[in-house]
Structure 1
Amino acid sequence: MKALTWHGKGDIRCDQVADPAIEDDRDVIIKVTCCAICGSDLHLMNGYMPTMKSGDVLGHETMGEVVEVGSGHSKFRKGDRIVVP
């Protein structure tokens, strides 16, 4: 899949990355249909974040459809529409 990735100060790219996978029974994977930029994303563009590594995927303000749910979830089901603020 395509994703915005951080490669250093002022270096944001649209790269091909691995598809997400359920890693924890609390995980939910969504197909993003809309997204927004967050102020914290702007900090990444203009500054240095010690915990970021080159290639890290950006973005956390999304809306979409649940396509896979970990076994520990009872709230979300495949096909649900959700917002991730």
Structure 2
Amino acid sequence: LGLTARADFSFARTAHAIPVVASEMPAAMRSYPIVFIGDAKAPVIITGLRQDQNLFVGADGKWAEPHYIPAYVRRYPFILADESKIGRA
């Protein structure tokens, strides 16, 4: 049993704003503008100029090199969620 690195990022093709954490900012800011959104001023990188547009994921699902791939994308499908906001049956 093991994990392999993801090579197909097609799932992120429509993500135009992707969350980042403070420790990623030095690497991320070399490739993307970082903006702070919402009341909490959460940092996100901008990957497209329009909603549902990511200019860094090609038709083949590959992330454009040599650009930084955010942890939020790399860890997919393992995404942290606030348990209090998850509906329970």
TM-score over 0.5 for the pair: no
Q: TM-score, normalised by structure 1?
A: 0.24
Higher strand share: 1
